[in-house]
Amino acid sequence: MKRYCLALDLKDEERSIEAYEEYHKAIWPEVKISILDAGILDMEIYRAGNRLFMVMECSDDFDFGKKAAADVANPVVVKWEKLMSEYQQPIPVAGEGEKWVLMNRIFKLVE
C-alpha cells in the first residue's frame, strides 16, 4: 500500500470555507466511485485555517496519471472539480495549473 500527502489552500473567506466543508460531508456518489475505482483505498482531508492537508492510502498500482485521465473523461467529476475550484487556491509553491501539491515526507518515527 502507498500513502500520499498533499496540500492545497482554500480561499480565505469564512463562508467559502464553510461551503467547501459542507460539500465534503456528502461528496457526490459518482465522485466517490471514481476515487475508489482509481485504487484510492482511503482518503482524509484535514484543515488548519484555510490550509488543507489530504492523506491518501492507495493500492500499489495507483497512478496519478491514470487517475487524472479518468477524471477528465468523467463529466460528473469534471463538474465537481470545477465547483470545488471556486473555493480553492494554490499554495505558494504550486506549479502552473497545479491544485493539490504532493508533499515530501521529511520524518518518520518508526521505519
Non-local (6+) Cβ contacts of 106 within 8 A are none
pTM: 0.93
Percent of the chain with pLDDT over 70: 100
Q: Given this model, what pLDDT does residue 15 score? A: 97
Q: What is the pLDDT of residues 75-93, one digit of tens each?
A: 999 999 999 999 999 999 9
CATH of 2-92, one of 3.30.70.1090, 1.10.390.10, 3.40.50.11270, 3.40.250.10: 3.30.70.1090
Cell for 83? 465547483
Does residue 98 contact residue 90 with C-beta atoms inside 8 Å?
yes
Q: What are phi and psi of 59, to 5 degrees?
A: -65, 160
Cell for 107? 520524518
| Res 111 pLDDT > 90 | no
